[in-house]
Chain A
Amino acid sequence: MTVEEQVREIVARITRVDKSIITRHSTFKEIKADSLDIVQALVAVEETFGIEIPDEEAQKFQNFGDFVSYVEKQVAQKGKA
């Protein structure tokens, strides 16, 4: 499973949205995620991939694609280390 698929699974599980409707362009508002959903998703992704997502970075995410891109970058860096 790719990083994107795993992140999509996590977000879908927490927000209880069908994962098929979550695209890279979906905003958190569009998938009806509130602040608690978002924080839970951040924590779950951090634990799954063993990475840290600082709040200041998370606040920059405009949509699901931004979230995935950041996680992909962190996972790749971790792999190189």
Chain B
Amino acid sequence: MITSRDMTKNGRIRVAVDAMGGDHAPGEIVRGAVLAARKDDVEVFLVGTTNVLNQELDKYGASGNPHIHLVEASDSIEENESPVDVIRRKPNCSLAVAAKMVKAGEADALLSAGSSGAAAVSAIQYIGMLDGVYRPAIVGSMGSFAPNTVMVDLGANVDCKPYQFVAFAIAGSVYARLFLNIPDPKIALLSTGSEERKGSEAVREAFSLLKNSGLNFIGNIEGGDVLSGKANVIVCDGFIGNVLLKFYESIGGYAQVWTEQKLKRYPPLRGLVRLMFKGLFPATRISRGAEKNGGGILWGVNGVVKITHGASQAPQIANAIEAAKESVKAGVVESMKSELAKFNLGGKS
């Protein structure tokens, strides 16, 4: 039967899942856990209101699954609540309890489909950051148009201090090495010009820090170079990264509409266009690559923390559990630690 806090390793990676976070929680989260637990190298710890979770498990005949465990959490964070409430008002919410399990060594990774901000706050407060890293960052690959390029930060840090860009560069380099097999990734700073003096004050200061960091920094690149392959790691603040990500993801759909309108007099060609865009342009979606490669990780945390879309259904949850497991196996945190140890990232004053 289901056991609570029956922490076993047995060579399996233990993933603590925030079962109350996400648009379809807890039903789809539980169903996703059931799918994920079919693999023989993972243990899933569903954190939330255990009597509700047990009812959900019963629906799938999985309440006796020895690789799914329930952990009680008396509270949960709603999407409209302030992320910092995790600390002051709801320290026993499902997300916080799952994070504390990682800190205590009772789980190897944390997954949440709930509020990304709350997940970041939980990670910072209850797991802690690696030495030299101030806040977590999100790294994502640029998909088919630039398969050897990643961008960081994709939205975790809207306002950044100059030294944060160095931590972003390190996170991006580790990602490129581990997931894209690029041995010495070229790092560039996204700016409004290639010259050192271009960009905001933070970007100009970051240029100087990166130039003297010992990293493989090639200088600034402009927006037009993002997909050129000049850089393997493109560093920017989370505001720019998130705007660019969403714009990039939208291009395929708009290009399809535009092309179909142009070909409205030629119905057979329109069908061909639909087919082409269905197969071709969705591949530009950064998030798809991120899901596959573990890019939904909060990089810089002293433990694997995976965030996934709030709208995720069971198959996506199962994929995310799998990606969290693979990130643990790949040694994401250990690689970050060893890279960070080479650099003095300094303070923000």
Interface residues of A (CB under 8 A from B): 15-18, 21, 32, 34-36, 39-40, 42-43, 55
Contact = CB atoms under 8 A, between A and B. Distances in A.
Contacts of B121: 36
Given A39-B84, A55-B88, A16 B349 contact: yes
B124 interface: yes
Contact of A17 (B82, B84, B124, B347): B347
B88 A17 contact: no
Interface string B114-128: 000000010011000
Most buried by A among B87, B88, B125, B159: B88
B348 A36 contact: no
A40 B125 contact: yes
B124 A40 contact: yes
B165 interface: no
A13 to B, nearest CB: 10
Interface residues of B, number: 14
B24 interface: no
Contacts of B45: none
Nearest to A21: B349
Contact of B87 (A17, A18, A40): A40
Nearest to A18: B349
Interface string B189-205: 00000000000000000
Nearest to B86: A39
Nearest to B120: A36
Contacts of B84: 35-36, 39
B348 A42 contact: no
B161 interface: yes
Contacts of A43: 87-88, 125
A48 to B, nearest CB: 15
Given A39-B87, A40-B87, A43-B87, A17 B349 contact: yes
Nearest to A20: B349
A4 B84 CA distance: 25
Contacts of A40: 87, 124-125
B134 interface: yes
27 contacts: A15-B348, A16-B134, A16-B348, A16-B349, A17-B347, A17-B349, A18-B347, A18-B349, A21-B349, A32-B161, A32-B348, A32-B349, A34-B159, A35-B82, A35-B84, A36-B83, A36-B84, A36-B124, A39-B87, A39-B88, A40-B87, A40-B124, A40-B125, A42-B88, A43-B87, A43-B88, A43-B125
Nearest to A54: B88
B125 A17 contact: no
Contacts of B159: 34
